[in-house]
Amino acid sequence: MWRAAMRFRALNKGWPILGRSPGQETFNNRTKGTLNMEGVRHKLREIVGISKRWSDHVKVMEERKLLHALLPKSQKELPPRRMKDSYTEVILPLGTQPMLREKYLTVYNCVRFGRILEDLDSLGVLICYTHTKIDSGKMSPFSIVTALVDKIDLCKKVISPENDIKFIGHVSWVGKTSMEVKMQMCQLYDTVYHPVLNATFVMVARDPENKGPAFINPLVLESPEEEELFKQGELNKGKRIASTTASLLKMAPTAEERLAVHNMFLSTLDPRTISFQSRVLPPDSVWMEDTKLKSLHICQPEERNIFNRIFGGFLMRKAFELGWATACHFAGSRPFLVAVDDIMFQRPVEIGSLLFFASQVCFTEKNHIQVRVHSEVSVPGTKEHKTTNVFHFTFLVEKEVPAVIPKTYGDSMLYLDGQRHFMGTMHEKAGGTAIIQ
């Protein structure tokens, strides 16, 4: 299987993952006993020892404190693991279990991408638990949480709700307390699985109470292909550091960006007056501040994860659906998702919190729309708001859309940040645009 996977990867540079290639495996020879998505969540509950009832969560968390003794004092204490040790396949049986479709169905008779985000998040956590498995006990002393969705790239326009879906993935890079996970999703057509998307997540290991970092098993590389995957993980880490350093929250815009912002500002001055205060919209444009949509959610126990906080996949689903609605409302037509990138999980969301989402179009080019969704949390009874996530979505519509024009300096920075994300996505997709419903 591994040799076939290496040959497949050599022909498909955009799909850097080990294991059997999705295009080479048929439905009939699918490995028996493959997990389904409900099985993934059941397995995670067993690994962590989560309470089945919310009323028991305090007792269960007290029991997890006893697992501190199982944590390694250093990475050297842990046996190295191979990439294929964490390789996992999961089936989402939409075709063979029609009753499951309702949960995943949209009004356009395609699969809800927000549900796919939830499934990817669960799978990424399970893959990391497989990598860090401790044979001496059933419950893991680690708390594995999603730190970052680095990138999700799509290569198919429609995800059918009537065909089975397969997820595959494994750990591709390891630091001392963090892991990069590569995942693919493919869908069954005519007895063959075809690629739909690939995703890169970064997960971190924490102690049993999720209060501090924990060392994880190092990764041993067994082939040049695995060395290339690991090297890419190192490069991804370097890119993230460079991006953080060059963030507009820390550094001034480049000379080219400053000129672009100034020219946009000049284009909005009323030629009938000699004033910086009199602003008019250029033709075929919209003020950025007029593209906003907002939502509010009360965080109930139903949406809790295995650590009794709000499930990260739920946050991504809600953010995506608001972002999609923002693009749809702005364009006046149905948007298609091109890419998701750079979702940083800055702090956990507690049960009972008020969760605020604010979405707006921050950049457009022809028929592409870049949407930014900002989420923040507030504890009832307080007025303090703290940022939890910033989400970036790139959409495509069938007709050209108006330009968005920033009115304030703050909006100008959001515009430039959106432009950077859009250009980064388009650079990676230079070989062709991938879209999905």
Q: What is the pLDDT of residues 367-399, one digit of tens each?
A: 999 999 999 999 888 888 999 999 999 999 999
Distances (CA, A) of 339 to 1, 149, 200, 296, 435: 30, 11, 12, 25, 8
Which residue did the predictor score with more confidence, 123 or 38?
Answer: 123
**pLDDT attached to residue 136:** 62
pLDDT exceeds cutoff 80 at 5: no
| Structural domains for the chain | 37-243 (3.10.129.10), 268-431 (3.10.129.10)
**pLDDT attached to residue 18:** 53
**pLDDT attached to residue 437:** 38
Of 350, 372, 358, which is closest to residue 417 (Cα–Cα)?
A: 372
pLDDT exceeds cutoff 70 at 248: yes
pLDDT exceeds cutoff 60 at 7: no
Quote the tokens at residue 301: 């126990």
**pLDDT attached to residue 9:** 45
**pLDDT attached to residue 434:** 39
Q: What percent of the chain has pLDDT over 70?
A: 88
**pLDDT attached to residue 304:** 78
Residues 60-88: tens digit of each pLDDT = 777 778 888 889 899 999 999 999 999 99
Q: What is the pTM of this model?
A: 0.88
Q: Which residue has the tokens 């080019």?
A: 365
Which residue did the predictor score with more confidence, 21 or 149?
Answer: 149
Cα–Cα dist 359/320, whole Å: 10
Give the mean model confidence (pLDDT) for residues 139-150.
91
**pLDDT attached to residue 51:** 65
Q: Give the confidence band of 132 by pLDDT, cuts at 50, 70, 90.
A: very high
